[in-house]
Amino acid sequence: MAADRLLSQEEIDSVFRSLKEKSKAEEACRKAVPYDFRRPDRIAKHQLRAIHLLHENFARNLASSLSAYLRAYVIVNLVSVEQLSFSEFSQCLPSPTCLVSLAMRPYEGSAVLEINPSLVFPILEILLGGTGRSGAKINREVTEIEQSILDGLYRIILHDLKQAWSPVTEIDFAIETRETEPQLLQIMAPNEAVLTIGLEVRMAENTGMMNIAMPSIIVKMLRQKFDQQWSVRRAQSTPEEQARILRLIKPASVQLDVRLEGPTLAAQEILALEAGDILVLDYPIERPVQVKVNGVPKFKGFIGSSGRKRAFVIQEPYQVRD
């Protein structure tokens, strides 16, 4: 039988070192994130933020336009701005639904606009004279006659979308094809990266989603224009612009106050004042007083009279001391 022996200090240190290295390796494995090389990120985060702001403006304008067109109170909220593959975007859409592919002139490629049936049929009901509050859930394809009725709706949406993108670039959105099944709309490769914009539309008692997908490669091409639009640096205004702003603010009304700054009274003394009392303000006559424009000191001068009216003689502009 082998005799028990004690471990040396070097052997003990070796055991601890191996355990520590093993724990570091496991921690590194836990931090690793799988990366799909078929879906590279094509849009920078700062550009995504700019696109988010752009479509927030689109949502606000669309809410006003649809409210006026449908004569009903419509709320549009931006829900998401994401990067997905075209196949993932298609799989997230209901079936059947209302789909149109959009040309993006002068750029090559097509975008996709999808409106959920939960919105399409109440809108059709309103356009045909109803209230849009029937509450009946309809799950069928849109007919050709209904598609032609929706043309006015598409014109409003595409007009507001064009206006939203106009600060960045001029894009003329136009309908190319119509479809009801997402899987049959083969305008992009399944693995092609797209920028998806999800909008929630609330109207009367109905709520549904409107989704837009654009090729990420086109958005990437516009990176420089996004940087120019959302840059903090601003160009200097021209003399013509300054003159125009001056003409706009000339009719504005401002309030002028002439005040004796310095003398103070306790609240107890003010409460004790009676008719005939004389207040010694301790303000020399030769000391100039201030004129405040909307509460901001602008001039120094002296109080006088002009005919039967009080007047103020400007001595010098007020200078703020450091």
Looking at residue 259, what is its pLDDT? 73
> For residue 140, with 0-12 CB atoms within 10 Å meaning exposed, 13-18 middle and 19 or more buried, which class applies?
exposed
List of domains in the chain = 45-230 (3.40.1550.10), 253-317 (2.30.330.10)
pLDDT, tens only, 214-227? 888 887 777 766 66
pLDDT at position 26 is: 61
Residues (pLDDT < 50) of the chain are: 1-3, 40, 232-234, 322
Give alpha helix (H) positions in the chain. 9-31, 45-70, 86-91, 117-127, 144-149, 151-165, 216-221, 223-230, 239-249, 267-271
pLDDT of residue 159: 92
CB-based contacts of 197: which residues, under 8 Å, 6+ apart? 51, 55, 78, 80, 81, 211, 212, 213, 214
pLDDT at 131: 76
Cβ proximity of 258 and 312 under 8 Å: yes
Q: Compute the half-sphere exposure of residue 316: CA atoms within 13 Å on the CB side of its CA.
A: 5
pLDDT tens track for 115-137:
998 888 888 888 888 777 776 67
Position 88 scores a pLDDT of 87
pTM: 0.58
At 22 the pLDDT is 64
CA distance 172 to 162: 6
CA-closest candidate to residue 316, choices 304, 297, 246? 297
